[in-house]
Amino acid sequence: QRILRLAEMCRRLETEEEKVLPFYPSSLEEGEQRDAQRVLEETPTEPLAQAMRDYLGLERFWQRFNKVKLEEQALERERETLSQRNQHLRELLRQYLAGISVSQEVLDQPNPL
């Protein structure tokens, strides 16, 4: 019941794209989809496979979880790129300001002009 209440609360915060996520076509080819379906229909013999069968209902959760993890990694890479660009622009600005101002500190350093 607690999980269902949390799911309802989270559902309100989903974007339109996330709400239609279950309807996205599979990235598997037709033959791969048939193989996957056949494997799912077989009766598992290993204990781990039997335990996994109990959690098939969480497949959509794991799809969303993995999508969020991928987005998180993409945003982290973008943040790093932007941080490097910001640092470069700050350095250019510092050089520019040093070139147009006159102070003892600036006079002690090589002037770009």
Sign for the CA dihedral angle at 67, 73, 79, 84 comes to: negative
- The model's pLDDT over 56-110, given as tens digits with 9 standing for 90+, comes to 677 777 777 888 899 999 999 999 999 999 999 999 999 888 777 766 776 677 7
Q: Please tell me the predicted confidence (pLDDT) of residue 8.
A: 82
What pTM was computed for the model?
Answer: 0.52
Question: C-alpha 91: how far from its chain's center?
Answer: 30
Residue 61: left if φ>0, alpha if ψ -120 to 50, beta else—which one? alpha
- The model's pLDDT over 20-61, given as tens digits with 9 standing for 90+, comes to 766 566 667 788 878 877 777 777 777 777 777 677 677 777
